[in-house]
């Protein structure tokens, strides 16, 4: 990456991706440390959450969130230590989950994602994964929207990932039979051994995913927690049970640019009286405290297993992001800024 002149480090977008984002789309810039305005806090960024959803914010296209402008700091959740506060509810020394962006210091207001964290419960990075965006998203999709039930079959894609591994464990704890779809033999093993999936399919080494799913789900698929879309969704729809629920959480399998069309699915949905629902975790922030309390209870009881893929150095954020998009992570991708 190019090093632009300045004084605290930020990573900015310098070119819109042509295809999947690559490190040369970003540059490091040095600028003065910001001064918080009335109602804001100055935080020092400790950890960054690396999220697939950023892909949609780097392009100039219609999306659920505004695009990062060219030359703008890359937006991101992170964990920051409050150094100075001009807000009555926050104090120096507190650790916050907040919208830090890819930068070493940030002046932040108390946005809808801002939460004070307690490292007596778990180490700070867990609040970006199992007790943060990943756990909350898994809970909203699997429990609130799909309402998975006892004896049902739940299929999860990106099954070994940050969100997927938790969605699978929540479904299992709710009494479902769980089937994962993931991208390597190593990840299949982790899904079976660590996350308690009843079966798991390596989609990269399976020539016929529809048949593999039909075999793994002989009674049909009641719930599909979809992080991928594309051919994996097509294969799941072929085995959907009557009354099946599909929750669309992410679209890892849909390439940037022109989207190839798949089979039409209206008849499958009609015949199975099935529903498909997309969701964005940010629309459910009013549920955050309750969901995090529930996840924390399970986490403390040792009922939720999780892995973290921690990469060191702010300058590594673009590489960590590219690795996540290439499936080279195993668990929640986090950048430790210092």
Ligand X SMILES: NC(=O)c1ccc[n+]([C@@H]2O[C@H](COP(=O)([O-])OP(=O)(O)OC[C@H]3O[C@@H](n4cnc5c(N)ncnc54)[C@H](OP(=O)(O)O)[C@@H]3O)[C@@H](O)[C@H]2O)c1
Binds ligand X by CB under 6 A, chosen from 122, 160, 216, 304: 160
Could you say whether residue 182 binds ligand X (CB under 6 A)?
A: yes
Taking phi over 0 as left and psi of -120 to 50 as alpha, with beta for the rest, 311 belongs to: beta
Nearest Cα residue to 227 out of 168, 169, 170: 168
CB atoms within 10 A of CB 179: 26
Cα separation, 226 vs 228, in Å, equals: 6
Could you say whether residue 279 binds ligand X (CB under 6 A)?
A: yes
Could you say whether residue 133 binds ligand X (CB under 6 A)?
A: yes
Nearest Cα residue to 194 out of 224, 228, 166: 166
Cα separation, 172 vs 217, in Å, equals: 15
Q: Which is nearer to ligand X, 41 or 335 (CB)?
A: 335
In DSSP terms, 49 is beta-bridged to 334
Could you say whether residue 153 binds ligand X (CB under 6 A)?
A: no
Could you say whether residue 155 binds ligand X (CB under 6 A)?
A: no
Q: Which is nearer to ligand X, 117 or 233 (CB)?
A: 233
Nearest Cα residue to 293 out of 145, 92, 60, 118: 118
**Stretch of 4-12, 130-138, 215-223, 295-303 contacting ligand X, by CB under 6 A:** 130-138
Could you say whether residue 281 binds ligand X (CB under 6 A)?
A: yes
Q: Which is nearer to ligand X, 49 or 85 (CB)?
A: 49
Interface pattern 218-257 for ligand X (x via CB under 6 A): ---------xx--------------------xx-xx----
* DSSP letter for each residue of 36-77: PPTT-EEEEEEEEE--TTHHHHSSSS--SSPPPPTTSBPP--
CB of 310 to ligand X, least distance (A): 13
Could you say whether residue 170 binds ligand X (CB under 6 A)?
A: no
CB of 50 to ligand X, least distance (A): 8
**Binding residues for ligand X, total number by CB under 6 A:** 29
In the chain the first and final C-alpha atoms are separated, in Å, by 18
CB of 150 to ligand X, least distance (A): 25
Query: Per the structure block, which two tokens stand in for 15?
Result: 């070119």
**Stretch of 112-120, 178-186, 210-218, 268-276 contacting ligand X, by CB under 6 A:** 178-186
**Stretch of 47-55, 107-115, 210-218, 289-297 contacting ligand X, by CB under 6 A:** 47-55
| Helix-then-strand count for the chain, H and E | 9, 15
Positions that interact with ligand X (CB under 6 A): 51-53, 133-134, 137, 158, 160-164, 182-184, 187, 227-228, 249-250, 252-253, 279-281, 324-325, 327, 329
């Amino acid at each position: 990456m190019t090093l632009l002149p300045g004084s605290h480090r930020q990573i900015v977008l310098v070119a819109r991706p042509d295809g999947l984002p690559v490190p040369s789309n970003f540059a490091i810039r040095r600028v003065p440390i910001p001064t918080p305005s009335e109602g804001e806090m100055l935080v020092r960024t400790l950890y960054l959450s690396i999220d697939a959803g950023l892909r949609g914010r780097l392009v100039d296209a219609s999306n659920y969130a505004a695009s990062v402008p060219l030359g703008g700091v890359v937006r991101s959740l992170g964990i920051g230590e409050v150094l100075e506060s001009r807000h009555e509810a926050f104090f120096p020394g507190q650790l916050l989950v907040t919208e830090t962006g890819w930068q070493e210091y940030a002046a932040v207001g108390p946005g809808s994602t801002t939460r004070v964290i307690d490292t007596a419960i778990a180490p700070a990075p867990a609040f970006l994964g199992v007790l943060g965006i990943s756990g909350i998203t898994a809970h909203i999709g699997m429990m609130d929207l799909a309402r998975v039930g006892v004896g049902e079959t739940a299929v999860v894609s990106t099954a070994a990932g940050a969100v997927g591994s938790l969605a699978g464990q929540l479904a299992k704890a709710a009494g479902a039979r769980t089937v994962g779809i993931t991208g390597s033999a190593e990840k299949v093993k982790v899904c079976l051994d660590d996350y308690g999936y009843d079966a798991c399919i390596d989609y990269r080494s399976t020539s016929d995913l529809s048949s593999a799913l039909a075999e793994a789900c002989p009674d049909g698929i009641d719930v599909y927690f979809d992080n991928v879309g594309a051919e994996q969704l097509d294969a799941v729809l072929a085995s959907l049970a009557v009354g099946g629920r599909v929750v669309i959480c992410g679209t890892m399998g849909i390439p940037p640019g022109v989207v190839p069309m798949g089979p039409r699915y209206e008849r499958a949905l009609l015949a199975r009286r099935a529903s498909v629902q997309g969701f964005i975790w940010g629309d459910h922030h009013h549920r955050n405290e309750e969901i995090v309390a529930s996840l924390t209870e399970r986490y403390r009881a040792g009922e939720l297993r999780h892995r973290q893929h921690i990469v060191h150095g702010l300058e590594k954020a673009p590489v960590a992001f590219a690795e996540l998009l290439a499936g080279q992570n195993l668990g929640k991708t986090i950048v430790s800024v210092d």
